[in-house]
Amino acid sequence: MLIFEIGNLYTKVSGPDHEIHLLRNILSCYVPGYQHTRAYKQGRWNGKAYFVTKTGTLPTGLLPYAIKKLPLLIEYRTVDKRKVPPLKVLPPFLHGITLRPYQQRAISIACSKKRGVIQAPAGSGKTEVAIGIISSLSYPKTLYLVHQRGLMHQTAERIERRLRCEPGIIGDGIYRQRRITVATIQALWHRMKDPRTALLLRDTQLLIIDECHHASATTWYRIAMKTHAAFRFGLSATPMVANSLRNMKLAAATGPIIVRISEEKLAEHGYLCLPTVRIITVSSPLLPPHISYPVAYERGILKNPVRNVMIEDIARKLASEQRTVLILVEMIDHGKKLAESLNAPFLTGKEPQSVRKKTIESLSKRETSMVIATKIFDEGIDVPIIDAVILAGGGKSYVKCVQRIGRTMRTGKDKKNPVVIDFLDKCHPYLKRHSLERINLYKNKNYPIFFVNDTT
C-alpha cells in the first residue's frame, strides 16, 4: 500500500519500493529535444524528467493525476497534513460590477477545490474571477503573479477599483507589500535573496498565477514551488498544450484544470463576439526552398514589400470603416516600418508605462484608429473596443495565436463584428506550413473563414 502524506507544496509517499518505482514512472515524461543532448547520445540519461524524487517526494499538485493513473491493484491512502488557513468563505462582492453566472460558478468551485487551473478564453473576465476568489476567501494574504509590468499596474488598478483596497506592487522599480500584492515574476525573481521576499512566500495564503501557461518556465516554477499557499490557482486561455513536461510542471505548481469555460457558450449568451477570419494569400516573392527559416522569414515576411503594402492597405481600409485596428508583429524593426508608413503609434513594451497608458486610452476613446504592437498585446491588455486584428508577424505558436485572436472578442458599446486578418504565405515551404497550422486552428474553433486572392 502507498501512503501519501499531503503538504501544501509537496507530498511524501511511502510504501513498497516497486510501487514507488511505478509511481516514479507514472510521474515522468520525456524532455523536449532530449534526443539531441550529449548525455542521451552517450547513454548517461534516458531523456526523462521525474517528478517523484528517489526519497519519495512529489509536488502536491500532481497527486490527483498520480492517483488517477495508479493501477487498480495498488491500494493507497492519503493523510492530509496541509496547513489550510481558517478562512471564512463568503459570497463574493466586487464594487462596480455584477459577476456573471459562469464567473460565480468558477469562484465557488475554486474555493471548494482549493487549487487548480481555471481555463477561460480572453474576454471572459478572468481577472474578475481572481478578484472574486480573493473576496470570497475574506481577503487572505494574496500573491498575484503576472509577467509584464503593464499588466501588473492594470491588475493592481482593477483590484483597487473592485475591492476598494490598495494592493502592494513588486515591479517597475517598486517594492511595496500589502495584504494583497501584485508582482511581476521578473522583479520577484531578482529579489529572491531579500528576506522580505522569503517572508512573503512563506506567509502567502492565496497564490494566483495569471497566464499560468508560463508557469512551466524555470523562474515561474521555482517561485510557485517556494510559495506556501494552500489556496493556489492558475488562470489561462491555453493552459495545456502538446508538451508533456510543460503540462506536468503547470499541474505541479497549481493543480489540474478545475474549471473550463468555452468560447462557444460565452458567445451563445452574448458575453463574447466570435471573429470572422480573412486569409490573404501572399505568393511573391517565390523564395528558394533550400534557404533556412530565419532567411525565409526575413525575406518573406519582415522585408517583403508586397506583403507589407498589403498590410498597410488593409489597415487603412479597416480604419476607414470606423474600425479600431490592432496590428501585431513579432519583430521591432517590422513594427517600426509599418508604424512609419501608417503614421500610427507603436508599442514595444520598452516604452514608459505613461506612454503606453496614454496610447491605450487614446485607442479606447477612438482618438486613434490603429496601433501597432509586439507581444505586449498578446496577454492581459484590456481594450474591448478593438474589432480588427491584423496578424502581421506569421509564426505557428498555438498559444500566441489564440491570445491574439482574443484581442477582438471582448464585447463593447458600438463595436462592429470582429475580424481577424491573417496571411497564407506561399513564398516558402516553412512559411506556408506555419500559415496552414494557424488556418487549422481557426477551422478547429469553427470560426468563419474567407480566403482572399486564393489561388490554391
Question: pLDDT, tens digit, for every residue of 421-444?
Answer: 999 999 999 999 999 999 998 998
d(C-alpha 5, C-alpha 236), whole Å = 29
Burial 408-447 (b: 16+ CB within 10 A, else e): bbbebeebbebbbbbbbbbbbebbbebbeebbebbeebeb
Kindly list the structural domains of the chain, giving each domain's residue range(s) and its CATH number in brackets, ordered by start: 2-80 (3.30.780.20), 101-266 (3.40.50.300), 273-452 (3.40.50.300)
Q: What is the pLDDT of residue 215?
A: 66
Q: What is the pTM of this model?
A: 0.87
d(C-alpha 299, C-alpha 295), whole Å = 6
Q: What is the pLDDT of residue 243?
A: 62
φ and ψ at 46, to 5 degrees? Answer: -90, 5
d(C-alpha 104, C-alpha 113), whole Å = 14
Over the stretch 102-133, which tens digit does the pLDDT of each residue have?
A: 999 999 999 999 999 999 988 899 999 999 99
Residue type, 269: H
Q: Which of 114, 134, 141, 135 is nearest to 199 (CA)?
A: 141
Cα 349 versus chain centre, distance: 17
Burial 174-188 (b: 16+ CB within 10 A, else e): ebebeebbbbbbebb
Lowest mean pLDDT among 197-206, 260-269, 377-386, 393-402: 377-386
> Under a CB-based contact definition with an 8 Å cutoff, are residues 112 and 72 in contact?
no
Per-residue pLDDT at 398 exceeds 70: no
d(C-alpha 439, C-alpha 443), whole Å = 6
Q: What is the pLDDT of residue 357?
A: 83
Q: What is the pLDDT of residue 456?
A: 40
> Under a CB-based contact definition with an 8 Å cutoff, are residues 116 and 255 in contact?
yes
Per-residue pLDDT at 190 exceeds 60: yes
What DSSP designation does 417 have? P
Residue type, 5: E
Residue type, 11: T
Lowest mean pLDDT among 79-83, 375-379, 452-456: 452-456
- The answer to whether the bond into 285 is cis (omega within 30° of 0) is yes
Q: By three-state DSSP, how is residue 38 classified?
A: helix
For the chain, what is the mean pLDDT? Answer: 91
Over the stretch 37-63, which tens digit does the pLDDT of each residue have?
A: 999 999 999 999 999 999 999 999 999
φ and ψ at 424, to 5 degrees? Answer: -95, 95
Give mean pLDDT, residues 176-185.
Answer: 97
Q: Which of 341, 346, 309 is nearest to 327 (CA)?
A: 346
